């Protein structure tokens, strides 16, 4: 099994995370806080990429920083992280969420940052985010992505972002994650991106 350290998350996020997870990561690093469903979505994803429970606790503690005391972190957050790993409560191990689940369940409110940006961001927010986060500035590219979003083909929009941002790895339009496979799971997006960088 691959071992991922808490310190490597920031670098991996910038190179390999799909927009849903990059958005949670950036929000967490900028505000030192995520609301419940954001924490859950991100914790399960990180577990899926190979972050151990101990490294997950290090990562979240550091990300929260001085925003909360050790005491509060230990009481309120450590348990939830361990719970997501199936180490507390009913000891059920929860799998990382698929796009389908992220898109259809636990709809985010205005203050939330979880969900799928292609489904849940307004276009006024999505387009500047694509520019700022992924450096996608070409009008045709942006029109293709927003066209897919308007047609409610959210996974097509995400797949197009993958193709554009991996063009330097030889990925062309229509290749998707390989052989035309479109994005249906954030962890699969990550795995393929990592594979292409190796």
Cβ-contact 164, 149 below 8 angstroms: no
Site string for ligand SF4, 142-181 (x = CB under 6 A): ------------xx--x-----------------------
Q: Rounded to whole angstroms, how far apart are CA atoms 20 and 46?
A: 12
Largest alpha-carbon pair distance within the chain? 51
Q: Work out whether 99 is an interface residue with ligand SF4 (CB under 6 A).
A: yes
Nearer to ligand SF4, 145 or 158 (CB): 158
Of 18, 38, 96, 108, the one binding ligand SF4 (CB under 6 A) is 18
Stretch that binds ligand SF4, among 48-56, 69-77, 114-122, 167-175 (CB under 6 A): 114-122
Question: Concatenated DSSP letters for 5-67?
Answer: -GGGHHHHHHHH--HHHHHHHHHHHHHS---HHHHHHHHHHHHHHTB-HHHHHHHHHHHHGGG
Query: CA-CA distances (angstroms) from residue 82 to 66, 128, 172?
Result: 21, 36, 40
Nearer to ligand SF4, 4 or 148 (CB): 148
Q: Does residue 22 bind ligand SF4 (CB under 6 A)?
A: no
Residue in 42, 186, 192, 193 binding ligand SF4, rule: CB under 6 A: 186
Closer of 29 and 182 to ligand SF4 (Cβ): 182
| Whole-angstrom distance, CA of residue 171 vs CA of residue 169 | 6
Distances (CA, A) of 23 to 13, 20, 76, 86: 9, 5, 23, 25
Closest to ligand SF4 by CB, 39 or 64: 39
Residue 102 in the binding site for ligand SF4 (CB under 6 A): yes
Q: Is 81 in the site for ligand SF4 (CB under 6 A)?
A: no
Q: Which two tokens stand for residue 59?
A: 């990562």
Total residues in contact with ligand SF4, by rule CB under 6 A: 14
Binder of ligand SF4 out of 46, 56, 183, 192 (CB under 6 A): 183
């Amino acid at each position: 099994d691959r071992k991922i350290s808490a310190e490597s998350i920031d670098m991996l996020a910038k190179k390999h995370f799909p927009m849903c997870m990059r958005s949670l990561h950036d929000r967490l690093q900028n505000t030192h806080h995520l609301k419940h469903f954001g924490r859950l979505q991100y914790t399960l994803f990180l577990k899926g990429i190979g972050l151990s429970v101990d490294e997950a606790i290090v990562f979240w503690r550091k990300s929260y920083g001085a925003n909360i005391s050790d005491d509060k972190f230990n009481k309120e957050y450590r348990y939830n992280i361990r719970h997501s790993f199936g180490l507390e409560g009913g000891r059920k191990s929860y799998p990382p969420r698929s796009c389908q689940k992220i898109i259809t369940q636990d709809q985010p409110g205005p203050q939330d940052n979880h969900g799928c940006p292609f489904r849940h961001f307004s276009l006024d927010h999505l387009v500047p985010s694509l520019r700022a986060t992924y450096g996608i500035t070409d009008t045709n590219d942006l029109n293709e992505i927003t066209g897919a979003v308007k047609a409610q083909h959210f996974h097509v929009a995400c797949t197009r972002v993958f193709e554009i941002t991996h063009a330097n790895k030889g990925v062309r339009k229509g290749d998707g994650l390989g052989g035309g496979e479109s994005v249906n799971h954030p962890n699969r997006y990550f795995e393929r991106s990592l594979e292409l960088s190796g």
